[in-house]
Structure 1
């Protein structure tokens, strides 16, 4: 007699055999997404698990059925549009590449039927260079921007007006475009590695395998979710069905959370949070000199991608291991040099020399200015750089406690913002500003792919 568990098991094997397009890593991640329901303990959970497996079957059948070809009744205007897509679909200075059907036929009826829906054939002609042109600010003509003087016969209703175009441009910030570009770069590399075309629309299987590849490289669940969100944005902009919301993609993402090696809940102290923390010190710390000391530590930890343990010691045993006063050198009014003699990833024991530049655009966040103010108040010539006026080195626990008070003052969860959050925030902020991963790796002195665990980019709000 077949039980629900037998049926579910058989269905599971059937689905596993049918989903041949998914990679091994992707399958492992997908399997982990249902780990809590693999061993049901009652009738209801058995039934739920069976339905869970059954729900995959429409997707599998859809993927295994042959693609239905477009009937021969496609209008000539669509054919013309396909031929001209690569030359005319040059995107301007925003994500305005959701190209409206740029129908070019002379048939008035064809123009009347035109919809702002990207034809699938046109979508497949969109290559990576078009995205690069858009993200880097191409000034070529966009088919959404309306007819030129030499082409005034086209209906103006097929185009975005200049005012609506400006509004669409304003909806995407520069930093967000940099993040999208990073996501598309990773996807383009993956497609090239898999020898599959980089063209819209992307299939659910390709996206799942992309997720599996990112996870295998060491990317965290939140970062992977952000890259998937960028793909979602692209499909929505082209008015295409969004494959990222499919059941199998959502479950694959869930699997990355279930299989994540660490439950690191530390959040980044970004530039905006750092500004709030510096202001909060005026309310949480009474002594002005101590505020200067803490502000300098905060700014140095952020701008130099430093671990808190490299600045202040956890115990007196490590007082000689933190940065020393003689390791600080002002090169001129515009920069300062720091020498790290003890660091986690030091090669062959060779000191690491860091140079920080002044920030004249935002003096409140300038590390050089902060260090000058600090050294004018704390004039010791030897020992740990951060020392109280009494001569006692500043301890790690003191800084952690003061950070906790400031975090709570600005209304954030102090259990998620710790000393290492400055380093995490620096990596995250650098990524938002478009710095390449290898450059960030050098700035933070990371080895291999460890940097990817530090970049915390929330899923894009679409």
Structure 2
């Protein structure tokens, strides 16, 4: 990629500017945008629209974008991915000072995109929520083999996911383990009446400020506090570092719990319980946590606090006492 600085710009400001560009969007978005722009350039080369990649000689037109949308659709890319790629192309053109058509002049692109959406639309497969009753049965099944560390780990992960309104990616590893992003042993602390779970990274925390969840005692058959206490006692037997994975599939090797392994094992338990597991995925816990909370008549602002949602601006001014969160978590067990 070419430099984005202007001629005569002081070197010190050049470094600052590069840093600001790199931090203009999230790392994951940067990766997606780079892929989009690289794919777009490869398309232009393949179609003979440009002879070489030279930013000073490229000028993006609406015709290029229309044909690129058709190429993406023909290559099997989804509507959402194609739309993401267009956003990436626009951002990279702005960054590298490549002429790009004004948004108001892209009516044909929008029309073709609408065509992609209509042609590609398929009825989504229903995702079943993990209700508290389902969670109880899953935990009961896993407790049959009380000496198995893996079963204890899976029960803990399921319970924490339910009461913490967690996305699957917030407690599992999707690629290589990274202690700066993934849950570590040091991120779970056992207090007097609750477990403190520190999330260093989440979808609702774009600036990576981190958030600590409180999982209280519920004194129910499935209690996040007691299951976490049991798990941490077993996990700490090997005196692991505070910076190693919290959830592991092997206590000796410390293999982190991946998203794929979690979903496969969870579905296996559901199959053993006689349930159709195909409708369950990693988001089932978060879906049901919100549904169960509403069914338990938990106030909207509390649901938003529990799930770390911030769609309603007024909710940010509400100060929620810890006792209310504790009562809300106990109420989840009564639906």
- After TM superposition, the score normalised by the length of structure 2 is 0.52
Residue 336, structure 1, aligned to residue 204, structure 2: no
* Structure 2: tracts of 5 or more residues without a match: 1-120, 313-335
CA distance in 1, matches of 2:164, 2:246: 15
Q: 1:366 aligns with which of 216, 223, 229?
A: 223
Residue 377 of structure 1: aligned partner: 234
Decide whether the 8 Å contact of 1:304 with 1:443 is kept in 2. Answer: yes
Deviates more, 1:295-304 or 1:320-329: 320-329
Residue 255 of structure 2: aligned partner: 392
Residue 182 of structure 2: aligned partner: 322
CA distance in 2, matches of 1:286, 1:405: 17
CA apart distance, 1:262:
7.2
CA apart distance, 1:261:
9.8
Deviates more, 1:261-270 or 1:386-395: 261-270
Residue 275, structure 1, aligned to residue 141, structure 2: no
Q: 1:265 to 1:295 in 2, by over 3 A?
A: same
Residue 50 of structure 2: aligned partner: none
CA distance in 2, matches of 1:413, 1:261: 21
Decide whether the 8 Å contact of 1:328 with 1:339 is kept in 2. Answer: yes
CA apart distance, 1:397:
1.6
Residue 412, structure 1, aligned to residue 275, structure 2: yes
Residue 321 of structure 2: aligned partner: none
Q: Which runs of 4+ in 1 moved over 3 A?
A: 317-320
Q: 1:305 aligns with which of 150, 165, 169?
A: 165
Residue 435, structure 1, aligned to residue 294, structure 2: no
Alignment deviations for residues 142-198 of structure 1 (CA, whole Å, 9 cap, x no partner): xxxxxxxxxxxxxxxxxxxxxxxxxxxxxxxxxxxxxxxxxxxxxxxxxxxxxxxxx
Decide whether the 8 Å contact of 1:407 with 1:417 is kept in 2. Answer: no
CA distance in 2, matches of 1:433, 1:280: 25
Look up the SS of the partner of 2:277 in the other structure.
coil
CA apart distance, 1:395:
1.8
CA apart distance, 1:292:
0.8
CA distance in 1, matches of 2:309, 2:125: 17
Aligned length: 186
Alignment deviations for residues 317-344 of structure 1 (CA, whole Å, 9 cap, x no partner): 5564221111111221x11111111001
Decide whether the 8 Å contact of 2:194 with 2:225 is kept in 1. Answer: yes
Rg (Cα) greater in structure: 1
Decide whether the 8 Å contact of 1:282 with 1:291 is kept in 2. Answer: yes
Residue 78 of structure 1: aligned partner: none
CA distance in 2, matches of 1:438, 1:329: 26
Decide whether the 8 Å contact of 1:270 with 1:426 is kept in 2. Answer: yes
- After TM superposition, the score normalised by the length of structure 1 is 0.38
Q: 1:326 to 1:421 in 2, by over 3 A?
A: same
CA distance in 2, matches of 1:264, 1:322: 29
Question: Which residues in structure 2 correspond to 1:61-460 (within 5 Å)?
Answer: 263=124, 265-282=126-143, 288-318=148-178, 320-332=180-192, 334-360=193-219, 362=220, 364-379=221-236, 380-382=240-242, 383-387=244-248, 388-390=250-252, 391-448=254-311
CA distance in 1, matches of 2:122, 2:191: 43
CA distance in 1, matches of 2:143, 2:226: 18
CA distance in 2, matches of 1:446, 1:408: 32
Look up the SS of the partner of 1:329 in the other structure.
strand
CA apart distance, 1:441:
1.6
Look up the SS of the partner of 2:195 in the other structure.
strand
Cα RMSD, aligned residues only: 2.2
CA distance in 1, matches of 2:260, 2:206: 28
Residue 121 of structure 1: aligned partner: none
Q: 1:351 to 1:310 in 2, by over 3 A?
A: same
